[in-house]
Structure 1
Amino acid sequence: MFDFYNFWLTHTPILSILVPAFTSFILLILGNPGSGSLKQDWRQPWRRGISFVSALIGLGLAISYFSIASTGQITVYQLSEWSAPFGIVLVLDRLSAFMLLLTYAVAVPVMWYASENWDTRGRYFHAMFHFLLMGLSGAFLTGDLFNLFVFFEILLMASYVLLLHGQGRPRFQLGVHYVTINLLASALFLIGLGMIYGSVGSLNMADVGRLIPTLDNDQHKLAIAGGLLLFVVFGIKAAMLPVGFWLPKTYAVASTPVAAIFTIMTKVGIYAILRVNGTVFDDAMAQDILKNCLLVIGLVTSIYGVIGALGVDRLRRFVGFMVLSSIGTLLIAISMFNTAAWAAGLYYLVHSTLIAAAFYLFCGWITSQRGAFKDHLKVSPKMKQEKAAAFTYFTIALMLAGLPPFSGFLGKVFILQATAETAYQGWIIAVILIVSLLSIIALTRVGFILFWRATPPEENPNEEAYAVYQALPEVAPKRNDKAIYILLGTLMAYVVFAAPIQNYMALTAQQIQNHALYQQAILKTDNQGRAISVQPYDPSYLPETKYGGEVEDHNALLIPDVISKPTLQGEHISEYKQRQIAEQTLEAPTIPNTTQLKPMEEH
């Protein structure tokens, strides 16, 4: 038991990526017939069982990571035992831990609901769902910019398949648009990474943040340009204006559980803006540009979203525009660049994700009980579960509009309190209050159409409308209402425990702004306390390997600082190299700048 516990501690947080990855592989190996025969396939219960158990394990891991991060500890996992910036690292801190917990808080009830019926409408639903969770987990945990791109691509490829789940012409048409937009974003991502690597010489987040202020003028501008290009990419992922017009229509055509889980995907863009542009590029030039742009973008996105919601003609698109408006509110909080505002934004981020997921699930309930009217905002006969549906909508509306005593209200109050430290306090307060008022009007309009103005059902058995109405389901789809209640109950608990949660968010904002602590946890230092890095990159330097021959290496004394003891004592470190390490360590030479590796002697 003790060995198992040590194994778990040693390999945290890679398990959060491996669990959904291996689950996906197992589900793929299990096979999948055509969607038309999935209901009769004997393997379907196995798929559902494996998928749901894996999601519960992921939730358990997320809770344990949250517990570890709550102590303030930053856990670093070195892949292949190579330290940063020479190797890839995963970093578990307060921010990544709570984002993982939020991901599984949405994923578990959504998957439980989808396993009742939706998973039989297309092939490989569960496998793609777990690939999506793998990409999300990796994006939140990685400490390397290139691997952030890799995990982005994993979650995007899974989302392409999930978006088309259930088939249909509208899904295919908007799926093509969605894929095209994200392929363009991926291309820009690679260009931005190339600009950063070409000027900085590293892609490790901690190392890039440390080195940017030391660059000369030309390299510095190139690195900042690369960072701003990444900001555009993250803005596309987050669906901020003017690159977020795709979201309302795209999410509207997705199947109900897919639209619900997609609510966490926009938050990956918000997370990346906060993690990369807000902390890695902690530079006066970059911060000034970002502050000015981000505030304007946030204000415009928030207003545009709520105005779009006022005039939309379908409930699913209505939810999409409200999601867009909430993204604007989050960008406003980030743009203030102070601890209180970031803590408030993180609190509001959880609220906006959970309520949007619940609302998309509610759209499935409405669609099933309105027959041919589906989710169109047109007056229709009263639903058979009118009271239950109306009460659920009323609760969702109160939460989404930000009315007391719910979490949306607290989140906006925290953001308004944080404006005391910004020069644009009046603009921010005015926009948030106006958007809240317009949200109430928009939600009231929808409620009037769906419930207040609904007509009595046809009572004459001789009329065709009578038979059509009687054929409609008596209750919500199985597990649909219960999944909504789970999410709404989570939001209720979120309000009850608002004080400790907000304290956690404040500590999270402080931690991610403490660049020295982040760098100290991730980067190794030499005997003089300076970070060991490869900046500037020297193309003539070729480190010796087991098969590289006996070549004098002036940097041998740094090797014990960048690899683990087992690797150092392993067979791949030659005896000649071991002698060099011992000799240089004993001599303890003074190197003028140990952050710059010396070139090796030529033969």
Structure 2
Amino acid sequence: MFDFNSFWHAHTPILSILIPAFTSFLLVLLGNPGSGSLKQDWRQPWRRGISLGSTLLGLITAISYLMIANTGQVTVYQLGEWSAPFGIVLVLDRLSAFMLVLTYALAAPVIWYASDNWDTRGRYFHTMFHFLLMGLTGAFLTGDLFNLFVFFEILLMASYVLLLHGQGRPRFQLGVHYVTINLVASALFLIGLGMIYGSVGSLNMTDVSRLLPTLDSDQHKLAIAGGLLLFVVFGIKAAMLPVGFWLPKTYAVASTPVAAIFTIMTKMGIYAILRVNGTVFDDALAQSIFKNTLLIIGLITSFYGVIGAIAAERLRRFVGFMVLSSIGTLLIAIAMFNTQAWSAALYYLVHSTLVAAAFYLFCGWMTSQRGSFKDHLKVAPKIKQEKAAAFTYFTIALMMAGLPPFSGFLGKVFILQATAETPYQGWIIAVILVVSLLSIIALTRVGFILFWRASPPEANPKEAAYAAYQALPAVAPNRNDKAIYMLLAGLIAYVIFAAPIQTYTVLTAQQIQNHALYQQSILKHDMQGRAISVQPFDAGYLPETKYGGEVEDHNALLIPDVISKPTLQGEHISEYKQRQIAEQTLASPTIPNTTQLKPMEEH
């Protein structure tokens, strides 16, 4: 009889990737007519039901992963049953579980809102939405740098289609810019991976971290250069300056639900900076360059974002600049490079993601009720749902500005407390406080334009403006306000449960800096306790294949330690290799006293 619990625990990390993957394939197989006939298509309710059901299942799965990770356990899933670093592994730890819950907590209300109307404005919306979730979950779970690149490409390809959802010339123009920028970033990503692999000989994150201090000077510098190149790539994804100018305009033209879900994509860049540059490349040379550069970039990005928000002429671009400012704040916290600062960064990351998504949804509400004024920051007639909209905006503004008693305030307080351990405490405190003050000014300006200075609507029935005003909707688009309230309710709960959440983030920051834990959990070790790993490229190395002839392998002794028993007993392990394993095991039960694997000899 099928044992569900055993199956669940055996395949825990990969299920979070397979759920959106199979959902996407199922939605493709379901078929899709032209966007003009989607409203009448009998399959549309099925698409919506499958999509929403899959997202809720993903949320439940993510919460269960969080419970597993909260025990402090690092769960490793070996793809193809090959151990790291010879095979690709998925790693479920506190940080990856934390990011998975955030992803699905955002995706659930967004897909619910989009399923009422927005999904009929373009083909394959639900399919691409779940391909995006697949890329995000895979990127959060992978323990391999090249696999990180693969999942980045999956989520980027889905984002290209979603950005154009609803069509329109502005979306196409900025979509071309967005694609071009990300193609350049992808090329740089591959170059960086090549530099790291050529010098280290491995792309497994834990293995690279272990081998980096052992490299020769030239190889070490090349690996560090590759790591810094990845930092530039992640910076493009996170939209930090000077490679983040694309974000305000690009997100401004995206459809409302797409802009809301895209707020998690900038955090993908932040996650990668923390995971790769913060923990993998953590030796003295890398960190001296990384920390100082990141702090300067964070300070400039935070200040630039709020200045751009003050000067913004459209509400959507205003939100984009505020997102930039919050990214700068996160980079400042990461650059301080201590446990308390990283914990504060994780806490603030969730806040900034959800409040930005709620703000983008609010932009859709304003656009629908302001007629020809849309989201332009110009004085317009009062909207019909003024009180509810004003109260919603006021709540969002308080949260985004970081005022008490909301999560933005707590997040900034945690970051300021962490400055006690940094030599640049004065600069950091000054910038964060000044940016907070300017944020209040910027948000107040927008509130005055939208609500306090709004003009009375036309009362003369003979005027054309009267008919135009009466034709405007009296309430927010269906599910729009409710989706906003869900996100705001989540942020309020985030404050109420701040104590246990902060405890979790502190433990997360401590765990990701515990290299010994990851090496013990992910890498295999020989009888003498040394990690079984790979070495930089050796031209004399000739691997044996099933059809490539018999080659003497001095390392055959290690094979049972790095592959599973079913694979070892399979047909792809030749009889000659089996004899070598048996002979070497009998002759030398322990590995010779050497720090490198011996190269095979060609015969």
Taking structure 1 as the reference length, the TM-score comes to: 0.98
Match of 2:196 in 1: 196
Shift of 1:188: 0.5
Q: How far, CA to CA, are the matches of 1:2 and 1:492 in structure 2?
A: 41
- Rounded to whole Å, the distance in 1 between the matches of 2:195 and 2:595 is 21
Amino acid at match of 1:584: Q
Deviation at 1:117, TM superposition (A): 0.2
Aligned position for 2:569: 569
Offset from partner CA, 1:287-318 (integer Å, 9 cap, x none): 00011100000000000000000011100000
Asked whether the equivalents of residues 533 and 595 of structure 1 are also in contact (C-alpha less than 8 Å), the reply is no
Deviation at 1:600, TM superposition (A): 2.2
CA RMSD of aligned residues (A): 1.2
Q: CA deviation at 1:554?
A: 1.1
CA separation of 1:569 and 1:34: change in aligned 2, threshold 3 A: same
Q: Which residue of 2 aligns with 1:394?
A: 394
Deviations 1:422-448 (A, max 9, x none): 000000000000000000000000000
In structure 2, the residue matched to 1:529 is: 529
SS at 1:264's partner residue? helix
Pair 1:266–1:524, CA change in 2 (3 A): same
1:302 maps onto 2:302 in alignment:
yes
Alpha-carbon separation, structure 1, partners of 2:593 and 2:166: 60
Match of 1:138 in 2: 138
Amino acid aligned to 1:495? V
| Secondary structure class of the residue paired with 1:143 | coil
Q: Is the 8 A contact 1:535 1:595 kept in 2?
A: no
- Ranges of 4+ aligned residues in structure 1 off by more than 4 Å: 589-595
Distance in 2 separating the partners of 1:192 and 1:268:
18
Distance 2:590 2:102 in 1: 49
Preserved CA contact (<8 Å) 1:56 1:108: yes
Aligned partner letter, 2:209: G
The SS at the match of 2:91 is strand
In the other structure, the counterpart of 2:422 is 422
Residue equivalent to 2:128 = 128
Alignment-derived partner of residue 583 in structure 1: 583
The answer as to whether partners of 2:540 and 2:601 remain within 8 angstroms in 1 is: no
Secondary structure of 2:13's aligned partner: coil
Query: CA offset at residue 519 of structure 1?
Result: 1.4
Output the amino acid matched with 1:287: Q
Question: How many pairs align?
Answer: 603
Q: In the alignment, does 2:31 pair up with 1:31?
A: yes
Residue 13 of structure 1 aligns to a residue in which SS?
helix
**Is the 1:240–1:328 contact (alpha carbons within 8 Å) kept by the matching residues of 2?**
yes
Partners of 1:12 and 1:543 in 2: how far apart?
Answer: 33
Distance 1:4 1:579 in 2: 39
The one-letter amino acid paired with 2:438 is: L
**Partners of 1:54 and 1:69 in 2: how far apart?**
22
Q: Following TM superposition, by how much is the alpha carbon of 1:33 offset from its aligned partner in structure 2, in angstroms?
A: 1.2
User: Counterpart of 1:339?
Assistant: 339
- Is 1:291 aligned to 2:296, yes or no? no
Aligned counterparts of 2:19 and 2:444: Cα–Cα separation in 1? 43
Q: Residue in 1 aligned with 2:508?
A: 508
Per the TM alignment, residue 539 of structure 1 is displaced from its structure 2 partner at its CA by: 3.6
- The structural deviation recorded for 1:200 is 0.5
SS in 2 for 1:551: coil
3-state secondary structure, aligned to 2:493: helix
1:369 partnered with 2:369: yes
Amino acid across the alignment from 2:54: S
The corresponding residue for 1:599 is 599
The answer to whether the Cα contact below 8 Å between 2:419 and 2:425 also exists between their aligned partners in 1 is yes
* CA distance 1:595–1:62, change in 2 (3 Å): farther
Q: Which residue in the other structure is 2:216 paired with? A: 216
Alignment of 1:6-405 (within 5 A): 6-405=6-405
Preserved contact between residue 145 and residue 193 of structure 2 (Cα < 8 Å): yes
Structure 1 CA distance for aligned equivalents of residues 594 and 454 of structure 2: 75
CA distance in 2, matches of 1:310, 1:537: 53
Shift of 1:579: 2.7
Contact 1:532 1:595 in 2 (8 A): no
Q: Which residue of 1 aligns with 2:457?
A: 457
Counterpart contact for 2:200–2:536, Cα < 8 Å: yes
CA distance in 2, matches of 1:386, 1:361: 16
Tell me the secondary structure at the aligned position of residue 77 of structure 1.
strand
Contact 1:21 1:130 in 2 (8 A): yes
The answer to whether the Cα contact below 8 Å between 1:72 and 1:94 also exists between their aligned partners in 2 is: yes
Q: Distance in 2 between matches of 1:371 and 1:131?
A: 34
Question: After superposition, what is the alpha-carbon deviation per residue over 1:433-476, rounded to whole angstroms, capped at 9, x for unaligned?
Answer: 00000000000000000000111111111111111111001110
CA distance in 1, matches of 2:539, 2:162: 44
8 Å Cα contact 2:82-2:563 kept in structure 1: yes
Partner of 1:91, secondary structure, is strand
Letter in 1 for 2:231: F
Q: CA deviation at 1:590?
A: 5.3
Q: 1:593 to 1:197 in 2, by over 3 A?
A: farther
Amino acid at match of 1:270: I
Cα-to-partner distance string for 1:34-54 (whole Å, 9 max, x where unaligned): 111111111111111111111
Cα-to-partner distance string for 1:46-105 (whole Å, 9 max, x where unaligned): 111111111111111101111100000000010000001100001000000010110001
SS of equivalent to 1:14:
helix
Structure 2: where are the runs of 5+ without partners? none
- Distance in 2 between residues matched to 1:21 and 1:416, nearest whole Å: 41
Kindly state the Cα deviation for residue 2 of structure 1 after the two structures are TM-superposed: 6.7
Contact 2:527-2:590 at 8 Å conserved across structures: no
In the TM superposition, what is the alpha-carbon distance from 1:593 to its structure 2 partner? 5.5
Whole-angstrom distance in 1 between the partners of 2:369 and 2:27: 33
Structure 1 contact 534–595 (Cα < 8 Å) conserved? no
Identity %: 87
1:591: how far off? 4.2
Aligned-partner Cα distance in 1 for 2:97–2:391: 34
Quick check: 2:355–2:488 contact (8 Å CA) kept in 1? yes
Which residue in the other structure is 2:467 paired with? 467
For residues 368 and 595 of structure 1, do their structure 2 counterparts lie closer, same or farther at Cα, with a shift above 3 Å needed? farther
Letter in 2 for 1:53: G
Deviations 1:252-308 (A, max 9, x none): 000000000000000000000000000000110000001110000000000000000
Distance 2:57 2:472 in 1: 38
**Shift in Å at residue 3 of structure 1?**
1.8
Query: Aligned partners of 2:2, 2:69: CA distance in 1, in Å?
Result: 22
Q: Which residue identity is paired with 1:225?
A: A
SS in 1 for 2:235: helix
- 2:201, 2:536 within 8 Å by CA — same for their partners in 1? yes
Looking at structure 2, the residues matched to 152 and 595 of structure 1 have their Cα atoms a distance apart, in angstroms, of: 35
Instruction: Give the drift of 1:380.
Output: 0.6
TM-superposition CA deviations, 1:188-216 (whole Å, max 9, x none): 00110111111111111001001111001
- CA separation in 2, counterparts of 1:73 and 1:185? 34
Q: Alignment partner of 2:528: what SS?
A: coil
Contact 2:542 2:602 in 1 (8 A): no
* Cα distance, 1:571 vs structure 2: 2.8
Distance in 1, matches of 2:594 and 2:132, equals: 41
- Report deviation, 1:582: 2.3
More deviation, 191-200/574-583: 574-583
Cα offset, 1:589, TM superposition: 5.6
Normalised by the length of structure 2, the TM-score is 0.98
Post-superposition Cα deviations, 1:336-365, rounded to whole Å, max 9, x if no partner, equal 000000000000000000000000000000
Which amino acid in the other structure matches residue 400 of structure 2? L
Q: Counterparts of 1:584 and 1:360 in 2: how far apart (Å)?
A: 64
